[in-house]
Amino acid sequence: MSRDIESRIIDIVEGIRSSVVSIITTRLMVDEWLNATPMKGLGTGFFIDDKHIITANHVVQGATELSVVTPDGEEYEAELLGTDPEFDTALIRTRGIGSVKPVRLGDSDKLRVGQMVLAVGYPLGLLGEPTVTLGVISAIGRSIRTPVGILEGLIQTDAAINPGNSGGPLLNLDGEVIGVNTAIIAGAQGIGFAIPINLVKLSVEEILRFGRVIRPRLGIYGVDLNKPMAKYFRLPVDRGILVAGVIPGSPADDAGIRQGDVITAIDDEELTSIVQLKVHLAKKFMEGNRLFNLTIVRGRTRYRVRVEI
C-alpha cells in the first residue's frame, strides 16, 4: 500500500471517529418458563447531523430501550423515530451530546467493483475507539435472503464485518459514507454486505417527512443483470433487472410481469440496477405519481406495460 493511501486512510479514520457510536438495546425475551427477561444487544450507528443517527433496522427491532455510547465512553438515552425493514434502516435521535461532527454522505450509484472501502463500527461489543477494517467492493447489486426478508441491491465487500458492526458506515477513500453495514454470511470468509446509501437517504427522508416509511410496491424480487448472466440464460439484453419472482396480487402481477422478464426502463429512463428502480419509484411516488411505464423484454419481444402503484 502506498504511503499516500495509508495517510489518507488515517485522516479519514481520525475525521469520522467521533461520528460513530455504539448502540445498546434492551429487549424483553420470554424464556421457557414464560418469564420476561431483559436482553442486551449491541450495534453501531453514525451521526448525520447534531442529533440524528442512522443504524440498521435489525439492530433496534423490538427494543424497549435505546442508548448510545460515544467513543469517549459517555452514554446517552435515545429514541426511535422510524424504521424501514425493506432497506434494513432505522433512524434514532438523541439529545444533550453537544457539538457533533456529522458524516458526509456519498453517492452509491457511482460505486465500482474493486474500489477500496473502509468499514467502521463496534464489532463484538468492543467499546472505546471504533474498529476499522479495509477491503474492496467485491460486487454490486447483490440480493440475499435474511431472517427478516429479502434485501436487494446490496454492496458486497470483503472488508471484515462482524456482529456488532451492523448499522455502521461503509466509506470510500474520500471519507464519504456509501453504505450501511448490514449482514454477514455465516460460515463464509470475506463476504459482507451493506445497504447502498442512496436507499438509506430515501428511508431517512420519508421518516423525517412523514414520521414513517411510505413505500410504493411494484411487487417483484429482482437482480441486476450483467453480461455473464445474460449469456448463461441466453437473454437478448445484458442490462436491466432480471425478475426473480413476482408477488401474487401485486401491481407487477396485475400488469402481467413474469419471472424471467427483464425490466430495461421505467418512464423512458434506462435501468441498470434494482437500486435505481427503487429510487425512481420512491421519489416519483412522493411527488404524487401513481402510474409508471415499464419496458419489459421477454424472450425476443419487447413490451411496454403501464403499472398502477
Query: Which H/E stretch holds residue 59?
Result: helix 57-60
Q: What are the φ/ψ torsions at residue 195 (nearest 5 degrees)?
A: -80, 130
**CATH superfamily ID and name for 18-94:** Trypsin-like serine proteases (2.40.10.10)
- What CATH architecture applies to the domain 104-210? Beta Barrel (2.40)
Q: Which three cell numbers stand for residue 190?
A: 470475506
Q: How does residue 16 score in pLDDT terms, banded at 50, 70 and 90?
A: very high
Catalytic residues: 58, 88, 166
Residue type, 118: L
The predicted structure's pLDDT at residue 235 = 92
The predicted structure's pLDDT at residue 29 = 75
Query: What phi-psi label fits residue 268: left (phi over 0), alpha (psi between -120 and 50 degrees) or beta?
Result: left
Please give the average per-residue pLDDT across 255-260, as a whole number. 95
The predicted structure's pLDDT at residue 186 = 65
Q: Is the dihedral of CA 258, 264, 269, 272 positive or negative?
A: positive
Q: Is the dihedral of CA 249, 255, 259, 262 positive or negative?
A: negative
Which residues does 300 contact at the CB level (< 8 Å), separation at least 6? 236
Please give the average per-residue pLDDT across 229-254, as a whole number. 94
pLDDT of 188 > 70? The answer is: no
Q: Which of 65-74, 95-104, 193-202 has the highest mean pLDDT?
A: 193-202
Q: How does residue 218 score in pLDDT terms, banded at 50, 70 and 90?
A: very high
Q: Supply the mean pLDDT for the chain.
A: 90
pLDDT of 187 > 80? The answer is: no
Report the percent of the chain where pLDDT is more than 70: 96
* Domain 220-308 -> CATH class: mainly beta
- Least confident window among 44-53, 127-136, 247-256, 263-272: 127-136
pTM of the model: 0.84
Contact 307, 251 (CB under 8 A): yes
The predicted structure's pLDDT at residue 1 = 60
271-283 tens-digit pLDDT: 998 989 998 998 8
Quick check: do 18-94 and 220-308 share a fold?
A: no
Per domain, the residue ranges of the chain are 18-94, 104-210, 220-308
Dist. CA 32–CA 276, nearest whole Å = 46
32-69 tens-digit pLDDT: 766 777 778 889 999 999 899 999 999 999 888 999 99
The predicted structure's pLDDT at residue 132 = 94
HEC per residue, 150-210: EEEEEEEECCCCCCCCCCCEEECCCCEEEEEEEEECCCCCCCEEEEEHHHHHHHHHHHHHH
Please give the average per-residue pLDDT across 224-249, as a whole number. 93
Residue type, 279: V
pLDDT of 262 > 70? The answer is: yes
The half-sphere exposure of 74 on its side-chain side, counting CA atoms within 13 A, is 11
Q: What angle do CA 293, 294, 300 make, to 5 degrees?
A: 140
Helix, strand, coil % over all residues of the chain, rounded to 5: 20, 45, 35
